[in-house]
Amino acid sequence: MAASTIKIENLHVEIEGSEIIKDFNLEINTGEVHAIMGPNGTGKSTLASAIMGHPKYEITQGSVHLDGENVLEMDVDERAKAGMFLAMQYPSEISGVTNADFMRSAINARREEGDEISLMKFIRKMDEKMDTLEMDQSFSQRYLNEGFSGGEKKRNEILQLMMLEPRFAILDEIDSGLDIDALKVVSKGVNDMRNPEFGCLIITHYQRLLNYIKPDKVHVMMQGRIVKSGGAELAERLEAEGYDWIKDELGIENEQVGDQQQEA
Amino acid sequence: MSVDTKWTYDEDYVKEYSQQRGEPNWLTEERLAAARLADKLELPKPEKTNIKTWNFTEFKHDAGVKETIDDVENLHEDVQKLIDRSTDEQNLIVFRDGHPVYRSVSKRLEEQGVLFMDIETAAKEHGDLLRQYFMGKAVNVDEHKLTALHVALMNGGTFVYVPKNVQVEAPLQVIYWQEDPEAALFNHVVVASEDNSEVTYLENYVSFQEEQKSVANIVAEVYAGSGAKVSYGGVDHLEKGMTTYVNRRGYVEKDGRIDWALGQMNEGNTVSDNTTILAGDGSYADSKSVSIGRGDQSQNFWTHIIHHGKHSDGQILTHGVMKDKASSIFNGVTKIEHGATKSNGEQTERVLMLSEKARGDANPILLIDEDDVTAGHAASVGRIDPLQMFYLMSRGLPRSEAERLVIHGFLAPVVNELPIQSVKDRLREVIERKVY
């Protein structure tokens, strides 16, 4: 099976006139897991949302290509159909729409008319994935994310990942707010996805998650761009020593982007 | 449009009409008194909607008696689709232009002593019982011109009576089908549920071809006795030429309860009043309604819960979707009277705007004359949340499909409450047709 590549070049992203991402470059192949680490406010989540087409972010320069196709020209749903997926840090709640109905619509949206997934096959798959994620069956009939706890929302994002089986997934702080047991479960879900036809970009503050999902490459983001890259050992050093040594090494005083103090 | 104050239907007409139907004297007298009032009284004045130019005067009053039908198979195809066939215990009445044409009542219902019949028959056979409730504690004939006209010209409706301690399990279904495009409907519903009884009633108002100019003037009275529980579902989908006044009122005694689920999908101009009087201590009302405004229609919805009883609890939820140049006013009123201590009233009005030319007003109103209560409201008017759209589309749903899901979800609070699957399915179809 042919490998796929997502290629981000010289990306610049603004939100409400202030530039958050500056000259960001990264290439991910299927079969690889990349992790982006970095302190708060360095543009990590903005990067994730902008690549998927978040309405608040404006891309002012640069390009994102998926196997040569220009992603930035695609509508959000076309990006998903091309094989991209974003597990969101703050997923929306949609009242009145059950988790199961939503996921079935999403699966069928990627299939040709007349080739919809059969109800039995869908239920079997959903049951299986929910078991892996140790989710109660009642979640399939609950309204999408409505009244879910933080941890339940994260599991539900990974459930969607497993149901939709994209080629590339961006996991935006999928570990935040999870206790150690939930973290293990969520990691198991992601690890189940690992194969030569799946590429993944994990965005996280903490090295903790990377104990369970071993990355092939680790990148450190500061001031809206990658300032250092390495293997899994880089994450371990960051865990042990923090970020200051990188700042010293590169002569960075303030790692944050512009005057944005929060992780946008 | 001119405002015609000369009614074609005068006292002589009303008297003859009543006698023709073999009504008891008390009812003829009430009609005549109402006819006199109708001349004097003004139209209601719904908040922020001017109805003075609406057609309440031009219509054909009665389309004439219809032949009864023995088999549902012989009903209009679209009427058949509404009928619940999942059960052997079918309790169903179908009206055609106000006249009952089909009736099926389960044996069990008869054994329980429940009355479920058209109001014309009820007036003849159970006149004294009907009289106890007709234009009783819930609605007054002299509220305005439309309530008076309603009584004077009542031409159809249903009487439901559930004796004490009787639990009716299968829902009672009524379909009011308007076929004659000029025929008016002056429909009167009484649901009387005695102490500790329980009943579910579900009505559909439907027409399938555009009316010429005509009028629907509907009054429903629901009485929940002590500890009684009434679930009242209604789906209105009358075509465009029909100007509708619909007044659904409830009166709840001690520890009784009424749950309303109203899908208000009329295509023409509509004034709706859904009021529940929480008379007894510990009484409860839950009023849910959803609507879609489209084209150039104008609608005014008034959802009102009045607390008299201590520890009474009233919940209002109103969701409206507005498109094209339609205009709708949503008024939610929680009124807590002095002495209704420990009462609680909550309301939510939400309006989803799909067009810049549409108008949707949500007016939450709390009128509280008692200190020792809790009450709250939430109201919003806005477009579909772009972040919800981003979320759904990021999973591969095209924009139109994502919007569809959000809108169905927004209207689900009422759709999900309806007790008959076939009616739910039809309402979903109506929503689909109206939104796209």
Q: Which of B395, B405, B413 sits opposite A80 (nearest CB)?
A: B395
Residue from B385, B393, B400, B424 whose CB has the most chain A CBs within 10 Å, to mutate: B393
Which pLDDT score, from 0 to 100, does residue A258 have? 66
Please give the Cα distance from B37 to B43 (Å, whole number): 12
Between strands B99-104 and B92-96, the pairing is: antiparallel
Please give the Cα distance from B249 to B230 (Å, whole number): 12
> Is there a contact between B391 and A160 if contact means CB atoms under 8 Å apart?
no
Q: In B309-420, which residue ranges form alpha helices assigned H by DSSP?
A: 386-393, 399-415
> Is there a contact between A94 and B387 if contact means CB atoms under 8 Å apart?
no
Residue from A51, A76, A99 whose CB has the most chain B CBs within 10 Å, to mutate: A76
Four-residue CA torsion sign, B7, B9, B10, B14: negative
Between strands B187-193 and B156-162, the pairing is: parallel
Coil, strand or helix: which one is A150? helix
Q: Which residues contact B127 (CB under 8 A, 6 or more apart)?
A: B24, B26, B27
CA angle A201, A203, A207 (to 5 degrees): 110
> Is there a contact between B408 and A102 if contact means CB atoms under 8 Å apart?
no
- Which pair of structure tokens corresponds to residue A47? 């990067």
Residue from B352, B391, B401 whose CB has the most chain A CBs within 10 Å, to mutate: B391
Distance from CA of A96 to the nearest CA of B (A): 4
Q: Are B305 and B334 in contact (CB under 8 A)?
A: yes
The residues that bridge with A228 in the sheet, in sequence order, are A220
Q: Which residue has the tokens 């929910």?
A: A130
Question: Is residue A86 in a domain?
Answer: yes
Question: A with B: how many residue pairs have Cβ under 8 Å apart?
Answer: 82
Write out chain B residues lying below 8 Å of A80, CB-based.
393-396
Binned at pLDDT 50, 70 and 90, residue A28 comes out as: very high
Question: Is residue A156 in a domain?
Answer: no
Indicate left, alpha or beta for A258 from its phi (over 0: left) and psi (-120 to 50: alpha). Answer: left
> Is there a contact between B394 and A53 if contact means CB atoms under 8 Å apart?
yes
Please give the Cα distance from A197 to A110 (Å, whole number): 17
* Nearest alpha carbon to residue B48 among B363, B424, B296, B269: B363
> Is there a contact between A92 and B408 if contact means CB atoms under 8 Å apart?
no
> Is there a contact between A55 and B386 if contact means CB atoms under 8 Å apart?
yes
Q: Is the predicted pLDDT of residue A261 greater than 50, yes or no?
A: no
- Which pair of structure tokens corresponds to residue B246? 């619909």
| Domain of residue A225, CATH code | 3.40.50.300
Which pLDDT score, from 0 to 100, does residue A262 have? 46
Q: Which of B394, B409, B410 sits opposite A76 (nearest CB)?
A: B394
Distance from CA of B235 to the nearest CA of A (A): 19
Q: Which residues contact B283 (CB under 8 A, 6 or more apart)?
A: B224, B252, B253, B254, B255, B256, B257, B309, B312, B313
Per-residue CA distances from A253 to A7, A109, B68, B141 (Å): 29, 47, 88, 80
Write out chain B residues lying below 8 Å of A94, CB-based.
388, 391-392, 405-406, 409
Please give the Cα distance from B288 to B414 (Å, whole number): 6
* Nearest alpha carbon to residue A264 among A94, A58, A62, A20: A20
Q: Which residues contact A30 (CB under 8 A, 6 or more apart)?
A: A3, A4, A5, A167, A168, A196, A197, A198, A199
Q: Are A136 and A144 in contact (CB under 8 A)?
A: no
Question: Looking at residue A139, what DSSP letter applies?
Answer: G
Please give the Cα distance from B14 to B11 (Å, whole number): 5
Q: Which residues of B touch A (CB under 8 A)?
A: 385-399, 401-402, 405-406, 408-413, 416
Question: Is residue A40 in a domain?
Answer: yes
The total number of structural domains that make up chain A: 1
Write out chain A residues lying below 8 Å of B406, CB-based.
94, 97
In a structure prediction context, what are the per-residue pLDDT tens digits for chain B, which is 436 residues long? Answer: 334 444 578 899 999 999 999 999 999 999 999 999 999 999 999 989 999 999 998 889 988 888 898 888 889 999 999 998 887 789 999 999 999 999 999 999 999 999 999 999 999 999 999 999 999 999 999 999 999 999 999 999 999 999 999 999 999 999 999 999 889 999 999 999 999 999 999 999 999 887 678 999 999 999 999 999 999 999 999 999 999 999 999 999 999 999 999 999 999 999 999 999 999 999 999 999 999 999 999 999 999 999 999 999 999 999 999 999 999 999 999 999 999 999 999 999 999 999 999 999 999 999 999 999 999 999 999 999 999 999 999 999 999 999 999 999 999 999 999 999 999 999 999 999 998 8
Four-residue CA torsion sign, A117, A123, A129, A133: positive
What are the residue ranges spanned by the domains of chain B?
Answer: 11-279, 385-436
Mean pLDDT of all residues in A185-195: 95
Please give the Cα distance from B173 to B110 (Å, whole number): 15
Q: Kind and range of the H or E element at B17?
A: helix B11-20
- What's the order of all strands across the beta sheet hosting A225-230? A84-87, A168-172, A199-204, A33-37, A217-222, A225-230
- A contact residues 112-151, partner B, Cβ 8 Å cutoff: 143
Q: Which of A94, A143, A164 sits opposite B388 (nearest CB)?
A: A94
Mean pLDDT of all residues in A91-96: 96
Q: Which of A52, A81, A96 sits opposite B413 (nearest CB)?
A: A96
- Which pair of structure tokens corresponds to residue A123? 């239920």
Residue from A94, A162, A172 whose CB has the most chain B CBs within 10 Å, to mutate: A94
Distance from CA of B266 to the nearest CA of A (A): 22
- Which pair of structure tokens corresponds to residue A14? 């603004």
> Is there a contact between B393 and A164 if contact means CB atoms under 8 Å apart?
no
Q: Chain centroid to CA B356: how far?
A: 29
| DSSP-derived secondary structure for B110-163 | HHTT-EEEEHHHHHHHSHHHHHHHTT-SS--TTSSHHHHHHHHH--EEEEEEE-
Please give the Cα distance from B197 to B101 (Å, whole number): 28
Specify the amino acid at residue A242: G
Q: Which residues contact B179 (CB under 8 A, 6 or more apart)?
A: B63, B76, B96, B97, B207, B208
Question: Looking at residue B211, what DSSP letter applies?
Answer: -
Interface residue A91 vs chain B (CB under 8 A): yes
Specify the amino acid at residue B4: D
What is the per-residue pLDDT across A144-185, written as a single tens digit (0 to 9) for each? 999 999 999 999 999 999 999 999 999 999 998 899 999 999
Q: Kind and range of the H or E element at B435?
A: helix B421-435
> Is there a contact between A75 and B387 if contact means CB atoms under 8 Å apart?
no
* Nearest alpha carbon to residue B323 among B371, B363, B360, B276: B360
- Which pair of structure tokens corresponds to residue B161? 């009576």
Q: In chain A, which residue ranges form alpha helices assigned H by DSSP?
A: 44-52, 76-81, 99-109, 119-132, 150-164, 180-193, 208-212, 232-241, 244-250
Between strands A69-70 and A57-66, the pairing is: antiparallel
Binned at pLDDT 50, 70 and 90, residue A264 comes out as: very low
- The whole domain housing A188 covers 5-93+166-250
